[in-house]
Amino acid sequence: MVHAEIAVLRFGLGARPGELAAAAGDARAWLHEQIRGPVPPAGSSPLAPSDQIFAEVMAARREKREMRRAAAAATDADPKATQNVLRDAYRPHYRAQVLARAQSAALTSRPFAERLVHFWANHFAISSDKGIIFGLAGTLENEAVRPHVNGRFLEMLRAVEQHPAMIAFLDNQASMGPDSAAALLAKRRSVRPDQPHREFGINENLAREILELHTLGVDGGYTQKDVTSFAEIITGWSIGDADGRFAGGQTGRFFFRDNLHEPGAKTFLGKRYPDGGLGQGEAVLEQLARHPSTARFIATKLARHFVADEPPPAVVDRLARAYLASDGDLPAVYAALIDSGEAWGPEPRKFKTPEDLVFSTMRAFGTAPGKPEDVLRSFELLGQRQYTPGSPAGWPDVAKAWDGSDALMHRILWASSVAERFDRGVDPLDLAASSLGRYARPETLTALRRAASGAQAVALLLMSPEFQRR
Amino acid sequence: MNRFQSSISRRRFLWKAGALAASTLAPRMLFASTGAPERLVVVVLRGALDGLAAVPPHGDRDYADLHRELAIAPPGVADGALALDGFFGLHPSFRFLHERYLAKELVVMHAVASPYRERSHFDGQNVLENGLTRPIGTADGWLNRALAALPGGVHPLSERAVAISQNLPLILRGDAPVLSMSPAAAPDVDEDLLTRLADLYSKDPWFSARLSEAVQGEAMMDATPDIPSSKIMAGAPPAKAGPARGTDRVGSAARMAAALMRSDGGPEIAVIEAMGWDTHANQGASSGTLAQRLAGLDNGLRGLAEGLGPLWSQTAVLVVTEFGRTAAVNGTRGTDHGTGGCAFLAGGAVRGGRVIADWPGLSRNALLDGRDLRPTLDLRSVFKAVLGEHLRIDGGSLASRVFPDSGGAHPLQGLVRA
C-alpha cells in the first residue's frame, strides 16, 4: 500500500522531509484534518490589501496624467518616462504576492488545503497580463478564495464576483443599464443630433463568464437571453473611487452603483427576479450555486484535478451528489473525494503542471524562497508565469496542454540548474526516499547510484517520470 | 551569455544528439524532406478578433451607427481605412497586408465563421481547431489529420509540421508526428544527462517519445543557420511558454517559423498563436488597444515574409480567429462575443487582390440574434480549399477524414495560383 505517498504527493503538494512518515499512520485522516477550519493567509508577512493597492494605482494614474500634461508643455521632456508609472506602482505588489504564494506552498503543513486554494483560484482565474489588475491578481486568491476554501461555495462565489479584481478583469465596473439613471441623464445631455452620442449599455463579459466558467459550465443550460439578462441584473456591480467620472464609495472596494443599475424585474433561467438593486444579482448567485449544473461542473473539475484527466463518471456523480446534499458545503465534497477509491489508484496519473513541479521541488529540498527572484525565473522558464493564465478559463488541467516536447526540454534545463544550486549536502538517494517514498522506481534508484555527479543525480531524480507526475 | 561559447556547445550537442539518436533512440531524419515546395502557415488569433474593425465594411449604411466610436472611417478620410474594393477596407494598422493586397497576394474573407454558434471562447477555439461541428474535450486537430492525408504521407519517424510554442495547440494534436518549438531559454543542455534520461525513460513510452522529439527539436534548431533565437535572447525576457501575446511575441514566433521552414528539410507547415483580441472595453479605433495589436500582427506577418525570402512565393498564410464580435459597441467602448468575423489568406502562392464575402448586411433584421454579423461562409470551406488546392490533399480525404460532417461546406475554388 502506498497510501501515504498518494495523500502527500497527489492530494498534497509533494513531500517535505518527514512528511511521508507523518501521513503514514492514517493517510485519509491526515487529509480530513486539513479541510476543517480556516486556511491561514499567504506568506510569512501580511500582504497589502486590494483597496490600498487600488488607491495607490489611482494615485499613480493621476500622476501619469499630470506628467503627460507637463510633457506636452515642455518639448524636451521624455515621453517614455510616463509610460511605466502604472507598472512601477504595481510591480512590488505582484512580486510580493508571488513570493507569498510560493512560501506558503513550500512550507505549509496543510498542503491539501493549500492545493485547494490553488484549485479554486484557478477556477476563478484572472490574468495579470491585463494591466489594470497586474498588482491585484494575488489579492483575489488571498481575499476572496482563501477565506472560503473550507466553507460554502456560495460564500466564495459572492466574494469573488464582488471582488474589485474580478470586476475590473471582466469589465463590469462601467457596465450600464440602458434605462439606468446614469444612461438617461447622459442621453438628455447629448443634445446635438449631428454628433453620435456614446452608446450606453451593458458589458456582458462578467455575466457570461460567471455562467460559463464559474457556475453552470458551458453546457449548463443557459441561452444568450440569460446572459444578457444576467448582465443587466449585475449592472451597478462596480468599484468605489474617490474621484473621477464615477466618484462614490470607498476607493478600491466593491461598490453597488445604483445609478448604473438597470431597473425593473428580470427573468433569468426561467425564474422572475423582482427589482431589488444589489439583492437581485445576489439572488441569482444563490440560484446558480444551488443549480445541479453547477454541482456537476465543479464535481467534474475536482475529479479531473485529483483523479484523472478523464475523470471517472462514478466519481463525478458522487461529488455532485455530495455537493447538492450539503447545499454546496465544500468540505463535504472534499470528504467524498477523499473517500473515493478511484482517487487512490497506486499509479501516478497526473502530469505535474510547472507550478506543481516548482512547489514539489521546493518541498523535496525542505526549502522556501526568500525573495521573488528565487521563483519568478522558474515560472517564466517553465511557461507558467504566476497569475497569467491569459484567459478567464484559467490554466488547463490536462497533460496534453503541458506535455509538448519543447516544454520537456525546458524542464530538463530547469532541473539541471536547480540541481546545480542544491546538490551540496544532499544525498540523492535520501532525497529520493524522503520525496518519493515507495513511488521511486528501482531503475530510477539505479540511475541515481550510477550518476556522474551529485548534481546530475538530483537532475535525474527531478526529471524521473515518478517525480514529474503525481 | 557568451554566444560564441554556447554555439560551440550547441554544435557539440548536435553531434551528440546524432549519436544519441543512433544509439538509444530510434534513428530518424529531422523533418521529412519530400521535395514538396508548398508551405502553409496557420496563425490562430485567440480571443475573437473584431472583424468589423479589422476589415471595416464602410460601404454598409448601418456600420458607422452600430460600431460608433469603434468604427473605422472610409478610405480617404484622416485615419481612414486602407482601400480594398470600395465597400470593404482594411484597418489602417494593416500596412503590410494592404501591400500584399495590392500585389494580389491577399484574399480577405468576411462574414465567415466555424460551425460553432454559441459564444464561448474556449468551445469556439475548440471547434476552430478540431474541424468538427461541435466542441469535444481533447480530440485531435484538423491540421494533424491533414498531415496523414498529405501526398507522400506521414513517415512514422519524421515531422512535417511545427507549432511555435512549448506545448502543442489542439489544431496540431493527434496521431501524426509533429514538433513544438519555442525560442530556447538557455542553449546549453548537458548531453550526458540526456543520454541517461533516455535510458531512464526506456520503460515509459510517453516520456520516451517526448524526449526523442525534444532532442529532434534541439538538433533542428542547431542545424538552422539563421535561427533567430540569439536575437530573441538578446532582446526579450527568457522564453515564455504558450501563445504569442504582445506584438514582439508574434514577431519572434513568425521569424522563428520562417527560419525553420527555410532550413534544409525544414517543416512545410507551421502554426503560430497570438492572444489578446478579447476587446470588451476601450477597444479603440484607428488607434488604441486593438490598433496596436493589429500593427503587431501586421509586423509579424511582414517578418514572416521577409524571413521566408524566396519561399514566400510558394507560401500561403491563413489567419483565423474563433468568432467575431458584436456589431454594436457595448456599454464600455468595446464589443462582446459575436459570431461572423473575418479571415485572411496571404502569400505568394495566393490568388489575391480580392475580397470574398457574401455580405449579409448589418441591418437589424440581417443580424444574427439581432446582434452579430451573420456568417455566410463556413471556415471549413476555406480550410478545405487551402488543403486541397495548395497542399494537394484529395477531396475524398478532406470530406471524410479531415473534416467529417462537412458535406455542406464545399471548398472555395481558385484561392491559390494554379
What are the tens digits of pLDDT across the range B277-331?
999 988 999 999 899 999 999 999 999 999 999 999 999 999 999 999 999 999 8
SS3 content of chain B, % helix, strand, coil (to 5): 40, 15, 45
Task: Evaluate if residue B361 carries a pLDDT over 80.
Answer: yes
Residue B334 C-alpha cell reads as 468595446
Predicted pLDDT at B382 = 98
Name the pTM for this structure: 0.82
> Is residue A396 one of the residues assigned to a domain?
yes
Compute the distance between CA of residue B210 and CA of residue B219 in angstroms, rounded to an integer.
14
Whether A22 is covered by a domain: the verdict is no
b (16+ CB within 10 A) / e for A117-137 = bbbbbbbbbbbbbbebbbbbb
Mutation target vs B (from A202, A222, A405; most B CBs, 10 A cutoff):
A405
Cβ–Cβ < 8 Å for A134, A386: no
CA torsion A403-A409-A415-A417 (nearest 10°) is: -150
Place of cell 510560493: A102
Asked whether the beta carbons of B152 and B418 are under 8 A apart, the reply is no
More confident residue, A425 or B324: B324
Q: A261 to chain B: which residues are within 8 Å by CB?
A: none
* In the block, residue with C-alpha cell 521573488: A372
Task: Tell me the per-residue pLDDT of B213-231, one tens digit each, with 9 for 90 and over.
Answer: 888 777 666 666 554 443 2
Predicted local distance difference test score (pLDDT) of residue B1: 31
Enumerate residues 6+ apart whose C-beta is below 8 A from A243: none
Residue type, B311: L
Predicted pLDDT of residue A269: 97
Range of the domain at A424: 354-468
> Is any Cβ of chain B less than 8 angstroms from the Cβ of A342?
no
Distance in angstroms (rounded) separating the CA atoms of residues A22 and A5: 11
Higher pLDDT, B11 or A26: A26
Amino acid at A180: S
**pLDDT at residue B35 in the model:** 54
Question: Largest alpha-carbon pair distance within chain B?
Answer: 68
Interface of A with B in 257-296 (CB under 8 A): none
Does residue A195 carry a pLDDT above 60?
no
Q: Do B121 and A391 touch (CB under 8 A)?
A: yes
Q: What mean pLDDT comes out for the span A93-122? A: 97
Q: Determine the pLDDT at residue B157.
A: 53
- Determine the Cα–Cα distance for residues A218 and B15; give it in Å rounded to an integer: 50
The alpha carbon of residue A12 and the mean position of all alpha carbons in its chain are separated, in whole angstroms, by 17
Q: Which grid coordinates belong to B188?
A: 546549453
- Looking at residue A45, its pLDDT comes to 87
B167 CB neighbours in chain A (<8 A) are 383, 400-404, 406-407
For A268-320, the DSSP string reads ETTEEE---THHHHHHHHHHHHH-HHHHHHHHHHHHHHHT-SS--HHHHHHHH
The pLDDT > 90 percentage for chain B reads: 66
Among A66, A49, A142, A147, which Cα is nearest to A101's? A142
Contact of B238 with chain A, judged by CB distance below 8 Å, is answered with yes
Beta strand B377-378 with A266-268: parallel, antiparallel or unpaired? Answer: unpaired
A205 Cβ contact list (under 8 Å, min separation 6):
A170, A171, A172, B280, B281, B336
CB contact under 8 A, B180 and A403: no
Q: Which of B114, B49, B122, B134 is nearest to A212 (CA)?
A: B122
A29 — contact with chain B (CB < 8 Å)? no
Residues in chain A closer than 8 A to B369 (CB atoms):
224
Contacts with B185 (C-beta within 8 Å, 6 or more apart), sequence order = A381, A410, A413, B238, B239
How many contacts does A have with B, using Cβ atoms within 8 A? 182
Q: Give the C-alpha separation, B133 to B115, whole Å.
A: 5
Asked whether the beta carbons of residue A407 and residue B166 sit closer than 8 angstroms, the reply is: yes
For B1, residues 6+ apart whose C-beta sits below 8 A from its C-beta are B186, B233
**pLDDT reading at B357 higher than 70:** yes
- Is a pLDDT exceeding 50 seen at residue B237? no
Give the contacts of A25 (CB within 8 A, at least 6 positions apart): none
DSSP states of A334-357: HHHHHT-GGGG-SS--SBPPHHHH
CB-based contact A174 B331, cutoff 8 Å: yes
Taking alpha carbons only, the member of A43, A40, A38, A1 closest to residue A20 is A1
Quote the pLDDT of residue A451.
Answer: 87
Which phi and psi (to 5°) does residue B355 adopt? -110, 130
* Residue B240: band (very low, low, confident or very high) from pLDDT cuts 50, 70, 90: very low
DSSP-assigned beta bridge partners for residue A152: A329
In-domain check, residue A51: no
Indicate the average pLDDT of chain A. 92
Are A400 and B216 an interchain contact pair (Cβ–Cβ within 8 Å)? no
Closest by Cβ to A464, choosing from B182, B200, B218: B200
C-alpha closest to that of B167 among B242, B219, B238 = B242
Average model confidence (pLDDT) for chain B?
A: 84
Which among B280, B293, B322, B335 is the top mutation candidate for probing chain A, defined by the most A β-carbons within 10 Å of its own β-carbon? Answer: B280
Highest mean pLDDT among A455-459, B101-105, B221-225: B101-105
- pLDDT, residue B223, reads 63
Q: How many CA atoms lie within 13 A of A296 on its CB side?
A: 11
The pairing of strands B269-275 and B161-164 is parallel
Q: Which residue of B has its CA nearest to A178?
A: B331
Contact B69, B333 (CB under 8 A): yes
Within 10 Å of residue A170's Cβ, how many Cβ atoms? 25
Q: Tally the C-alpha atoms within 13 A of residue A156's C-alpha that lie toward its C-beta.
A: 26
In a domain, A424, yes or no: yes
What's the confidence (pLDDT) of residue B225? 52
Q: Residue A338 above 90 pLDDT?
A: yes
Whether residue A452 lies inside any domain: the answer is yes
Q: How far apart are CA B73 and CA B82, in angstroms?
A: 10
Q: Report helix, strand or coil for B100.
A: helix
Amino acid (one-letter) located at B201? Y
The answer to whether B237 and A380 have CB atoms below 8 angstroms apart is yes
Question: Is A369 a member of any domain?
Answer: yes
> Does the pLDDT value for residue A217 go beyond 80?
yes
Q: Do A218 and B119 touch (CB under 8 A)?
A: no
Report yes or no: A468 at the B interface, CB cutoff 8 Å.
Answer: yes
Q: What is the mean pLDDT of residues A17-24?
A: 95
- A70 Cβ under 8 Å from any chain B Cβ: no
Q: Please report the pLDDT score of residue A75 as a whole number.
A: 57
Q: Is A460 on the interface with B (CB under 8 A)?
A: yes
Quickly name the fold that domain B31-183+228-364+379-402 has: Alkaline Phosphatase, subunit A (3.40.720)
What pLDDT band is residue A370 in, cutting at 50, 70 and 90?
very high
Mean pLDDT for A318-346 is 97
DSSP label of B348: T
Asked if B384 reaches chain A (Cβ–Cβ under 8 Å), the answer is no
Q: List chain B domain ranges.
A: 31-183+228-364+379-402
Mean pLDDT of A253-273: 96
Each residue's pLDDT tens digit, B50-78: 999 999 999 999 999 999 999 999 999 99
| CA gyration radius, chain B | 22
Write out chain B residues lying below 8 Å of A393, CB-based: 121-122
Residue B118's pLDDT is 93
User: How many CB atoms are located within 10 Å of the residue B1 CB?
Assistant: 11
Rounded to an integer, what distance in angstroms lies between the CA atom of residue A91 and that of residue A350?
A: 33
Total domains present in chain A: 1
Instruction: Write out the three cell numbers for B61.
Output: 449604411
The whole-number pLDDT of residue B276 equals: 84
With contacts defined as CB-CB under 8 Å, which chain A residues touch B207? Answer: 408, 465, 468
Residue A88, exposed/middle/buried by CB under 10 A (0-12, 13-18, 19+)?
exposed
Distance between CA atoms of residues A212 and B174, nearest Å: 27
Reduce the DSSP state of residue B82 to 3 states and report it: strand
pLDDT at res. A129: 84
Q: Confidence class of residue B2 from pLDDT cuts 50, 70 and 90?
A: very low
Question: Which of B242, B194, B214, B175 is closest to A353 using CA atoms?
Answer: B242
| Alpha carbons A179 and B135: distance in angstroms, whole number | 37
Q: pLDDT category, A2, cuts 50, 70, 90? A: confident
Confidence of residue B245 (pLDDT cuts 50, 70, 90): very low
Tell me whether residue A234 is in a domain: no
pLDDT, residue B113, reads 98
Which segment of A83-87, A398-402, B80-84 scores lowest on mean pLDDT? A83-87
From B375, B370, B382, select the one nearest B410 (Cα to Cα): B382
Residue A454 within any structural domain of the chain: yes
Query: How many CB atoms are located within 10 Å of the residue A240 CB?
Result: 21
Which range among A345-354, A423-432, B203-212, B286-295 shows the weakest confidence by mean pLDDT? A423-432
A216 inside 8 A of chain B by CB: no
CA B224 – CA B259 distance, rounded (Å): 7
Reading the block at residue A124, the C-alpha cell is 476563478
Query: Are the beta carbons of A266 and A284 closer than 8 angstroms?
Result: no
